[in-house]
Amino acid sequence: MGRKKTKNYYWTEDTEKGGIIEYNTSDSPEQKNKIYNKYLEYPFFKLTENIINTFKFSYFDDVFQDVQNECISFLVLNMHKYDHTKGSKAFSYFSVVIKNYLILNNNANYKKLKTHATIDNARGLHSQQVNEDANVFIEESIDYFENKIPHMFSKQKDRIIAYAIVDLMKVRENIEDFNKKALYILLREMTNVETAKITKVLNIMRKHMKVLHNNFHTRGSLHISSKLNKFL
């Protein structure tokens, strides 16, 4: 017999309906406190624990418990933003909230460390130019894919994946230190498809990126060459 898939037993229907929704609709601080202690304290604890352990954030100065407490506080402060009438599941919604919070703080600490590092002026100027060129290339690539995705993929699911990849390209500054595994998890949550299909779409987009990069490197901009026609 195969192994059963593990489930998030700490996050139940009561967590959303008896907990989050009731918490958001209550005007009583005492009632909110009771709801939190009964329905939300442990699920929030486990959710943040699992996400911090799953994703590798390298630039936090604080110990694990302090980071987790900050995440839980951030969840509580932003709980009112969750709107169950829009159809999104609370578990997925708050998972993304925590991941984004950790990404932003991880990168803020990373940039702080880079600021305090001693950098040779010549190397610094060269690095700045390389970064500027890279940003121009990515921005032009985003425009390219947004126009070409309907022609690149005939299946709607593939298009959804491709547009999700483009969305991550748009917020690349917030995820520059995110590992490959974490990015795949994000894409799975954004698209609700398995890893194999994501990989298939990524491979097609990589072929385009290779030709686009060659054009950019030789011409300084994305003049679309005839080489791309065979991919369309």
Give the angle 14-42-65 at the CA atoms, nearest 5°.
155
Mean pLDDT to the nearest integer, 120-149: 67
Task: Tell me how far apart the 2 most distant CA atoms of the chain are, in Å.
Answer: 67
pLDDT single digits (tens) 6-56 = 456 889 888 988 899 999 999 998 999 999 999 999 999 999 888 888 776
For the chain, percent of residues with pLDDT exceeding 70: 70
Q: Which residue has the higher pLDDT, 90 or 134?
A: 90
Q: Report the length, in residues, of the chain.
A: 232
Give the angle 40-32-42 at the CA atoms, nearest 5°.
15
CA-CA distance, 231 to 207, in Å (whole number)? Answer: 8
CA-CA distance, 228 to 142, in Å (whole number)? Answer: 16
Residue 180 pLDDT more than 90?
no
101 confidence band (pLDDT: 50, 70, 90): confident
222 confidence band (pLDDT: 50, 70, 90): low
186 closest CA partner among 157, 158, 165: 165
CA-CA distance, 137 to 209, in Å (whole number)? Answer: 10
Burial 193-228, CB ≥16 within 10 A → b, else e: beeebbeebbebbeebbebbeebbeeeeebeeeeeb
The per-residue DSSP string of 68-116 comes to: HHHHHHHHHHTGGG--GGG---HHHHHHHHHHHHHHHHHHHHHHHHHHH
Mean pLDDT to the nearest integer, 121-137: 55
* Amino acid letter, 42: Y
Lowest mean pLDDT among 26-30, 105-109, 150-154: 105-109
Residue 140: how many other CB atoms lie within 10 Å: 15
Residue 93: how many other CB atoms lie within 10 Å: 16
Residue 155: how many other CB atoms lie within 10 Å: 10
CA-CA distance, 89 to 99, in Å (whole number)? Answer: 16
Q: Which residue has the higher pLDDT, 175 or 6?
A: 175
CA-CA distance, 31 to 164, in Å (whole number)? Answer: 39
Give yes or no for a contact between 175 and 168, defined as CB atoms under 8 angstroms apart. Answer: yes
CA-CA distance, 116 to 104, in Å (whole number)? Answer: 19
Please give the model's pTM, rounded to 2 decimal places.
Answer: 0.47
Burial 50-86, CB ≥16 within 10 A → b, else e: ebbeebebeebeeeeeebbebbbebbeeebeebeeee
